[in-house]
Structure 1
């Protein structure tokens, strides 16, 4: 279980106590899509602990696993309706309502977790995020965990080139379901709990789910021979925390800022924890019985080209999509100078 941050405790003592002095103790119900694992047991709990610290113990958050406060894939509805006061969620589960969610969740855009954090907190992303959620979904939301680069596929078929990808029976979701279909795969949407048996029985050829750390407890590596990297379909992204609008407006401005701060602290600390744990989980795959396969660069380039076309198509008719896309593309242009003076991570002294 995640240990409370000393940094957050210090901030809570100096800021949170002052802003919540005299307030009555509040208990909030947190809806999540997660049945278990690091997103529930570490990241959601991390945020709840930070909120408790920053409020001086006045706000206690009870975390509920997926399906106990409404549908696991409709957490936004649970928060909007007031069934839950707050959530720990993946914005891309609302992709069917509006595709802009894919840009904010992370898609095959090429933004790494580190780039995503810079865009979010220095490039105007977090302001767009909150404005978008309030305008389109009537909930207040902000990032509260980072997503690492995913495994491209756990697969029973070797996939290296675009030709290998043709006709692949692939479990996926969201924007990548559309893009993978455009690239020739036969996509299937199913819940995470069904993936193992579907791979084992040959119902699907391959599946994408999460980063090495997230995939390790699923056992996909036990029923699929090939591990395909890198995860260009989801090179980075965010999880969010949502607050019911009525609950939010009942808070003072300082209390609202403390919730945003709890999210930012959780993003940073989840990045440290998940990045480090991914190293260990990936090494297990390398040293295990699976075969690691690296995607052909021509295939990667084709994915990015198709993604740009897909982005342009949605931007033509969707004002919000166009706003977020323009911001991210401007940021990428700024980042183009990065390799000229920054050394690649993980390569020095090897």
Structure 2
């Protein structure tokens, strides 16, 4: 029999081996995803939800999955996020579907970037409980990407900033207007000269008079960019984009290789991030609009009912044209319209008018 000292040495060695075998994995053995947003740091409501989502994933998975999220342009140019996820250069991309209209015309429907699109609550309901997410993934069939629920959601954009007053649709004639997508086609029908510019070029182009008017983002985003410094006229509401889901793309192989027990945690993190983004944006946009309305340099006004109805009519005609040319576009458009026929009458029935703020003490 071995001596007591030998037995103790053997037990110590066995305990060391057992501990080494079953101790937690070292940090370098974690699952690490390479991620990028299409947006730079510093812009509210665009990059910050992607950053929040990455933090939530690490927290919910206990550090088993880490997403190294980078701002737009860090790894690939902002408008190449889809291609980078598709090729595997990125594991995950936080972006906006409307950028891909050239490849996938129906992307504007998921971006909600067309006149008289869906309101925020109805849009989220269609994505989660209608056919939205299923059709979103079907749009990219044959690509190496998986669409997960939105990581964020923008509220209504400002309709436009302009150097000249816009009081009727006739005022668009000859106007050099910065916009993108379906709304650009509608503006051209109204006589505007549409100019496509990247976000960073909008302010200097307005300042130099290269363009006369522009739409870009929500009140909080536009305040950050300082459009009120050079444009005295602000028009609302943003009928061209009533809300905007922010797209979450994951490389298909990356998603398939993720352990099944972690996948629900990623989806929960997206829901929480989107929820936080919506509620945060309400306050930020209200504060920004109050700032614009109180500024002696800015005149804030609403589109007239007549202007809204004509924009809706033109927008519907443009969407119908696109549906005739693209069967999948037609399917998605009908899915949205069918869902709206179901939920919007109810939403209108129970909607209460906003009360006026009461004086203090009442």
TM-score (norm 2): 0.86
Instruction: Give 2:347's aligned residue.
Output: 338
Contact preservation (8 Å) 1:28, 1:86: yes
Is contact 1:74–1:94 with CA below 8 Å preserved after alignment? no
Residue 27 of structure 1 is matched in structure 2 by 32
- Deviation by residue 1:127-167 (Cα, 9 ceiling, x = unmatched): 2223323x164311221111110000011011121101222
* 2:209 paired with 1:209: no
1:40 Cα deviation after fit: 5.1
Give the Cα separation in 2 of the matches to 1:329 and 1:293.
29
Partners in 2 of 1:284 and 1:171 — Cα distance?
A: 24
CA spacing shift, 1:246–1:153, aligned 2, 3 Å? same
Runs of 5+ in structure 2 lacking a partner? Answer: 1-23
How far the C-alpha of 1:343 sits from its partner, in A, is 1.2
Q: TM-score, normalised by structure 1?
A: 0.89
Q: Offset at 1:349?
A: 6.3
Aligned pair 1:43/2:10, yes or no?
Answer: no
Query: In the alignment, which of 79, 100, 106 is matched to residue 94 of structure 1?
Result: 100
Greater Cα offset, 307-316 or 207-216: 307-316
Q: How many residues align?
A: 328
Assess, with a 3 A threshold, how the Cα gap between structure 1 residues 41 and 101 changes in structure 2: closer, same or farther: closer
Note the C-alpha offset of 1:104. Answer: 0.3
RMSD: 1.9
Quickly say closer, same or farther: Cα 1:89–1:161, change in 2 above 3 A.
same
Task: Name the CA distance, whole Å, in 2 between partners of 1:291 and 1:348.
Answer: 21
Write out aligned runs for 1:1-350 (5 A). Answer: 24-36=29-41, 37-39=43-45, 41-107=47-113, 108-133=115-140, 135=141, 137-142=143-148, 143-288=150-295, 289-334=297-342, 335-344=344-353, 346-347=354-355
Specify every segment of 5 or more residues in structure 1 that has no aligned partner in the other structure, as ranges. 1-20
Structure 2 CA distance for aligned equivalents of residues 300 and 209 of structure 1: 19
Alpha-carbon distance in 1 for matches of 2:154, 2:191? 26
Alpha-carbon contact 1:155-1:206 (below 8 Å) kept: yes
Q: Check the 8 A contact 1:198/1:204 in 2, yes or no.
A: yes
Q: Aligned partners of 1:258, 1:141: CA distance in 2, in Å?
A: 15
The secondary structure found in structure 1 opposite 2:250 is strand
